Structure 1
Amino acid sequence: MPLTGLLFAGLAHADIAPTESDWGGTGLLQTPSAQMAQEGELGIEVTHVSPYTRYNFTLQPLPWLEGIFRYTDIDNRAYGPAVLSGDQTYKDKSIDIKVRVWRESHYLPDVAIGIRDVGGTGLFSSEYVVGSKRFGPIEASLGMAWGYMGSRGDIDNPLSIFSSRFNTRPLCGDAVGGQFCSDDYFRGPAALFGGFSYQTPWDPLTLKIEYEGNNYQHEPLGEKLKQDTPVNVGAVFRLNRNVDFSVGFERGNTAMLGITLHTNIAQATPPPKLLDPPPPPRPTTPPQQPPEQVNWADVSRELQNNAGLKVSKIARSGSELIVTGEQTKYLYIAQGIGRAARVLDNHVGPGIDWYTVESTNESLPVVDTSINRHIFDDLLDHQIDLDDFQRSVEQDAPQPRQEEVLYQATPKAFDGGLSLTYAQSMGGPNAFILYQIAANYDAEYHFAPDLWWSGTVSANLVNNYDKFTYTAPSDLPRVRTDIRQYLTSSDITMPNFQLTTAHQLADGLYGMAYAGMLESMFGGVGGETLYRPFGERWALGADINWVKQRGFDQGFTFRDYHIVTGQATLYVDTGVQDVTVAVSAGRYLAGDWGGTIDISREFRNGVRMGAYATLTNVDGRQYGEGSFDKGIYISIPFDLMLPESTVERAGFLWEPLVRDGGARLQKRYSLYTLTDDLDSDNFDDNLQKITY
């Protein structure tokens, strides 16, 4: 897996990351601390303390925000009837959030507020406030918890001074999980918890001791566990920056074992690009050919091979040379532009003072980036620094101009390639992990630069979906819960087969239309528009689609169900810590109406962390288990893992459940994605790569 490669890459890090609790996230054993990991930290942890095995996935997208999703295996309870689940034990899904509200200072501690099991079944739901303070090698924590963590309940709820309703804690959920039970938060009796961690003089070893507020007499599913003492002790051995081993003795009678794999994906740097061509050499003798005498076909091939620029046109406008093309190799825009400038420097004589690269994507003109030829040479010769050079760089919206076309590329009509894909679903009643490895052939045929066909054929190689017998109940049209039939009906499928056209309609206004098999479960026709003005941090888009449900074999057949669906979406790049918010509203595939909010952060190396939630006019009972659609995702550039530059990405999406409510059409192309180069942060944050 790409993530595993990152975890063991031994990435350099200035500070040692804090250790995780049994539940994931920074903490002691059973209890959290207010400390936060560095932003960009990611951890995968497995802990076992009978009868619970916890699989924790921890994300630190912001300095003050920690998120965890978790599966808890309760090994003395069956998942369900043996005919459905065999001998699989019970699995509980949950999501935790911790927010730091005060940062540690010389006299004051870190203070954090958190909620466990905020959007799951509520079996382990708990809320807490905790403070942590460092004293040299010792970190002390003290907090108060409600719900599961505070089930000892030996303290009257201090919030009852505001209202008597805080004295009792109602049951959450009315039989369906996944709800935000806000009426339960911080209600009922409470309990104190706290403890100490000690970084020993031997750097790899940290010792922990804590007092917890759970007395284990109110465990999920009617369980009661014996607790000889509320004091737990443990130790963490840090094998290296990426691997921790944990041991402990909890409840006075039970051993704990754990392993944590962690890394900081925001600080990950690419490995040496041993398979990339070297940057073009500087000319020993400046070329003297005027632009009209250059063999531009040869230059175009060199721009493709060395600068990753798939050229469609080269033109001259006075002392400016304009290269129009699509970047196909370099993740960091500045790197491709710097290489393109050096290629041109080796061929173009006097009279050209500016190089402009007009970036396109599927023929859409996105952004013009212009650099002064002579100032760039000064940068390469170390006569100026990067800040001086940056002041000379210009980025503008592409505009019609008076130009002399020097070269028009003959477009390559057909392109295709093989790839392997891995897909999985977790936590289902048939097996904890269902997986598939498939070989895909993706192809495109361009009838014109702005009109093309695209398709994918997928061949199943290895899977365990023979265990997949469960079809989720649904009171809605089955737009997603028939997933079992789509995955198991054929070993050869065609997830995508569509015709697409895209155009720039006006300054900042783009349009796209498409028809065909648009995703694995739906085909039809649709269109999208996007207004994304140059230089702004917002965009507004909308799509509308008439779609019909495809046959289970993902061929050219259709089933009876059809619908008109679409959403309007406002995208806002907040400009604060690289956070982007997308808010959508409209009609979903099952005919329900509602909205989706997606919040994500992209780090300067291209890694993106995000989460989304969709609420519609379908109530929780009609939706079924989970109550509403939600998920967490990570997108990691392959460039951070491979010895060759690439623009491809590895994506990981965790959706607790597949349900029919809030389902969106999974389109192959999005205008917002196609115009990503309009976000200048990638260029500005990685400008130093222009000399690579």
Structure 2
Amino acid sequence: MARRAGIAALLAGATALAGAAYPETVPSYNLYGLPGLVDMPDANMSPDATLGLTYGRMGTANRGSVSFQIAPRLVGTFRYTGIGSFDHRASVDGVYYDRSFDLRFQLLTEGTWRPSVVVGLQDFIGTGIYSAEYIVATKTITPGLQVTGGLGWGRMASYNGFGGFGTRSEEILDEGGKPTTDRWFRGDIAPFGGVAWSPDDRLTFKLEYSSDQYDLERENSTFEHNSPINVGMDYRFKGGSQLSLYYAYGSTIGAQYTYTMNPKTLGVPGGVETAPLPIKPRTGAEARDLGWISELAATEATTQTRLARSLKREKLELEGFRLEPHRATLRLRNETYGATSQAVGRAARSMSRIMPGSVEEFVIIPSENGVPASAITLRRSDLEALENEAATEMLVRTRFDEAPADTPKMDLEDYPKFLWSLAPYYGYATFDPDGPLRLDLGVSLRGTIEFTPNIVLSGSLNKKIVGNLDDVTRESESKLPRVRTDYAEYAREADPKIPRLTLGLYGKPAPQLYSRLTLGYLEPMYAGASAELLWKPVDSRFALGAEINYVERRDFDMLFGLQGNETTDPVTGITRSFPHVNGHVSAYYDIGNGYNAQLDVGRYIAGDTGATVTLTREFANGWRIGAFATKTDISAKDFGEGSFDKGLIFTIPVSIGTGQPSRNDSTLTIRSVQRDGGAKLAIDDRLYERIRENHEPDVAASWGRFWR
């Protein structure tokens, strides 16, 4: 399926690299995309939140990987490999393609006498071709010199192994996707190790004894294993990326390029925007003057006009306003600043320069799609006293409440509004064995009519210019209704196409309760209606939601036609139908320190029922990296290749490359394989993300932007 995802998009979206300064450097990555020597792992850890992208080749094998330092001691890796000249029933034109996942955890950090110790699972949920487990220790002997030693199981015990616990299957699983728990730390054990020496901050030389005999490659391809000794050299560029060269197993030359970045240290985008206005202090006499209230209505009108003009200069919008003798309430729309705190800070500065002197309390109500999301109360005297102090001082004196029932009514004088843009678009697909990388490029005409802030008609028209997404010939042998695996037909017939055309209605039916109703062409494959309710207290890390959808499949040309909820398998000729109604109940929890969890339980498009677990790590600058897994009542056999739906999520803020503040971002989803089980609608205006950005936990996390 066309997906806005992939390693190439990550490279294009990033403009800064996490540093590689000696000696506190990102460690060298091995040919598996993990901190290591040549082919073997070591016990080094990258700095927290490091994202490493690697592409390497050794012999006939190409390996690409994405590795993320999930926590200071935990690393996760996704790897995609193509092995040439591999004689296997699943090979395509002699190339065997494989997807695998790794996890590794640091048991002990390095001390004066104690080595760092790491335990790892390699290819623990794949076909098993790279299946291995290990315990490894690394010790720095002198600055620049490290010694590593470890014990391996599975592939890492295929050379000079000795008896261990239990027996271990070496079978390559056709479907993959199942945790191979029956293999973990079973079978033979073998030692491995090596030495790494860095004479300066650029070069590292490696000598390795490998316990991997490459049995599968020797049996099924032209690979030769003549020696367990591997040597390698890494060269680090100034930006921190790394080029590596290897001579491995006495028979082959290898090379790899590694690109690292760290969302945690990239900083919050911004700084190019115009500086905010300074706070205007009051005199004692101004603060006591209440003479203006005799003409309250007239003063309120002129003050609102001046404030709206001031906010417009800050690229903010006044949606509603109320003035009282000691309080001013502003209903604020922010479509510019990724950090709500920055929008609130700028609005407060404008209010300090315009409000009558007796107004001591500013109540700023952030609004999302015309829905009041919270009430942030600031004392004017605190703003005057703390403007040149740390933002945390102001946070202590700020109050977060539920938006009041008597929120100022929306000012609809400038509505309806029409907005449009013409921009490039791309569609992206990965991991089809006949073409592991497919890409469409074109232009997208997008338009929005805002009848009111909470009644919005929006859509887009896309025209492909160049690409090969329609060049898919392999037919899926799905045993389910083809709710997603007909993507090739959509790619072939839809040009030009209307990916979405929807009418959205947003509301707040009760305190702490938010609503959405979306009608129309909801996503590229489905039209219908989607209704959502979200319960989210303003000061809580916990939220509950429910969504119900009524859908019908769109015509393959992706214009205005519908084709009913029946699909015919072109391989077997079997026709299968799926229900019109699907939906979920959802629980959300902000764990803290940027970690978030989501659980969705319900019915998926194909009619299967189950649950999706999503874990993400978010950063104040808008980056988000996570993973998800969906398991339904569909058996692994009926689901097909991959056994169940799973993947990685990367959200990249648009402003990371421009320095300009923006609320826009691009979410890239990398699936190991697109199947029909566990499929959800791709609704693009769900409530939780936008609402919580205006609630206390999220606003407080980015409060450092308040004075910016």
Task: Flag whether TM exceeds 0.5 (same fold).
Answer: yes
Give the distance between the partners of 1:677 and 1:540, measured in 2 at CA: 16
The 1:11–1:270 alpha-carbon spacing in structure 2 relative to 1, beyond 3 Å, is: farther
- Is 1:658 aligned to 2:665, yes or no? no
Which amino acid in 2 is paired with 1:114? Answer: G
Q: Which amino acid is 1:132 matched to?
A: T
Amino acid at match of 2:589: V
Change (3 A) 1:574 1:220: farther
For 1:327 and 1:277, the matched residues in 2 are separated by: 16
* Distance (Å, rounded) in 2 between the aligned partners of 1:385 and 1:450: 36
Q: 1:466 to 1:542 in 2, by over 3 A?
A: closer
> Deviation at 1:30?
0.5
* Alpha-carbon contact 1:80-1:429 (below 8 Å) kept: no
TM superposition shift of 1:282: 5.3
Name the CA distance, whole Å, in 2 between partners of 1:272 and 1:573.
25
For residues 114-513 of structure 1, what are the structure 2 equivalents within 5 Å? 114-136=120-142, 137-152=144-159, 154-157=161-164, 160=165, 166-169=166-169, 171=171, 173=173, 175-200=174-199, 202-219=200-217, 222-223=220-221, 225-270=223-268, 273-274=271-272, 276-281=273-278, 291-292=299-300, 294-306=302-314, 308-380=315-387, 382=388, 384-401=389-406, 409-513=413-517
The answer to whether the 8 Å contact 2:18/2:260 transfers is: no
Question: SS at the partner of 1:134?
Answer: strand
Query: What corresponds to 2:572 in structure 1?
Result: none
Residue by residue over 1:57-80, the C-alpha shift from the partner in whole angstroms, topping out at 9 and shown as x without a partner, is 211122122111122121224898
CA contact (8 A) 2:86 2:220 kept: no
**1:574 corresponds to 2:588:** no
- Aligned twin of 2:82: 73
Matched, 1:534 2:538: yes
Work out the CA distance in 2 between the residues paired with 1:368 and 1:284.
24
- 1:7/1:195 CA distance change after superposition, 3 Å: farther
Q: Shift of residue 413 of structure 1? A: 3.1
**1:465 positional shift:** 2.6
Cα deviations by residue, 1:578-602 (Å, 9 ceiling, x for unpaired): 2111111111111111111101111
SS of 1:493's equivalent in the other structure is coil
Deviation at 1:272, TM superposition (A): 6.0
Is 1:45 the counterpart of 2:57? The answer is no
So what's the TM-score if we normalise by structure 2?
0.90
SS in 2 for 1:469: coil
CA distance in 2, matches of 1:398, 1:466: 49
**Identity of counterpart residues, as a percentage?**
27
Q: 1:649 to 1:406 in 2, by over 3 A?
A: closer
CA contact (8 A) 1:171 1:184 kept: no
Q: Letter of the aligned partner of 1:119 in structure 2?
A: I
Pick closer, same or farther for the CA change 1:222–1:193 going to 2, 3 Å: same
1:632-643 matches, within 5 Å, as 632-643=648-659
**Letter in structure 1 aligned against 2:554:** R
Structure 1 CA distance, aligned partners of 2:407 and 2:260? Answer: 55
AA partner of residue 644 (structure 1): Q
The residue aligned with 2:574 is none
Please tell me the residue identity of whatever aligns with 2:312: Q
Q: Work out the CA distance in 2 between the residues paired with 1:441 and 1:221.
A: 53
Per the alignment, residue 163 of structure 1 pairs with none
Which amino acid in 2 is paired with 1:490? Answer: A
Give ranges in structure 1 of 5+ residues lacking alignment.
161-165
Q: Is the 8 A contact 1:101 1:113 kept in 2?
A: yes
Q: TM-score by structure 1 length?
A: 0.92
Give, in whole Å, the separation in 2 of the partners of 1:264 and 1:206: 22
- Alignment equivalent of 2:686, drawn from 661, 670, 681: 670
Q: Which has the higher contact order (CA 8 A, sep 6+)?
A: 2
Backbone CA RMSD of aligned residues: 2.6
Q: Cα distance, 1:153 vs. partner?
A: 5.5
User: How many residue pairs get matched?
Assistant: 674
Q: 4+ residue runs of structure 1 moved beyond 4 angstroms?
A: 5-8, 10-14, 78-82, 281-291, 405-409
Query: Would you say the 8 A contact 2:54–2:65 is kept in 1?
Result: yes
Q: Is the 8 A contact 1:315 1:406 kept in 2?
A: no
Cα distance in 2 for residues equivalent to 1:8 and 1:635: 15
Instruction: Give the AA of the match of 2:378.
Output: I
The structure-2 alpha-carbon separation of the partners of 1:96 and 1:66, relative to structure 1 and needing over 3 Å to count, comes to: same
Quote the Cα distance in structure 2 between the aligned partners of 1:79 and 1:320.
75
Name whichever of 90-99 and 297-306 sits farther off: 297-306
Deviation of the 1:140 alpha carbon: 2.2
Letter in 2 for 1:123: I
Deviations 1:465-502 (A, max 9, x none): 34222232201000000001111202111111222222
- Trace 1:609-628 onto structure 2 (pairs within 5 A): 609-628=625-644
1:172-228: CA deviations, max 9, x gaps? 63x32222121122221121111121221x221111111111122333873473222
Please tell me whether the aligned partners of residues 370 and 454 of structure 2 are also in contact (alpha carbons under 8 angstroms).
yes
Any idea what the Cα deviations from partners look like across 1:25-55, whole Å, max 9, x if unmatched?
Answer: 1111101122211122112111111021211
Q: Deviations over 1:316-336 (max 9, x none)?
A: 244121111221111112211
Aligned to 1:102: 108
Aligned-partner Cα distance in 1 for 2:15–2:275: 28
- Say if 1:389 and 1:273 are closer, same or farther in 2 by CA, change over 3 A: closer
SS at match of 2:649: strand
Cα offset, 1:679, TM superposition: 4.3
For residues 376-407 of structure 1, give each alpha carbon's deviation from its aligned partner in whole angstroms, at most 9, with x where no partner exists.
12222x3x44343222111111012487x897
> Are 1:33 and 2:42 an aligned pair?
yes
| Cα distance in 2 for residues equivalent to 1:402 and 1:336 | 19
For residue 385 of structure 2, give the secondary structure of its aligned residue in structure 1. helix
CA contact (8 A) 2:324 2:359 kept: no
Conserved in 2, the CA contact under 8 Å of 1:54 and 1:73? yes
Counterpart CA distance in 1 for 2:266 and 2:702 is 14
Separation in 1 of the partners of 2:646 and 2:532? 24
Question: Relative to 1, partners in 2 of residues 1:214 and 1:346: Cα closer, same or farther, differing over 3 Å?
Answer: same
Quick check: 1:600–1:611 contact (8 Å CA) kept in 2?
yes
1:292/1:690 CA distance change after superposition, 3 Å: same
Aligned-pair CA distance for 1:285: 9.1
- Report if the CA contact (8 A) 2:306-2:354 is conserved: no
Query: In the alignment, is the contact (CA less than 8 A) between 1:8 and 1:242 conserved in 2?
Result: no
Contact 2:300/2:323, CA 8 A, preserved across alignment: no
CA contact (8 A) 2:281 2:384 kept: no
2:507, 2:516 within 8 Å by CA — same for their partners in 1?
A: yes
Is 146-155 or 443-452 further displaced after alignment? Answer: 443-452
Instruction: Tell me the equivalent position of 1:56.
Output: 65
CA–CA distance in structure 2, aligned partners of residues 633 and 220 of structure 1: 36
Q: Which structure 2 segments of 5+ residues have no match?
A: 1-7, 293-298, 566-578
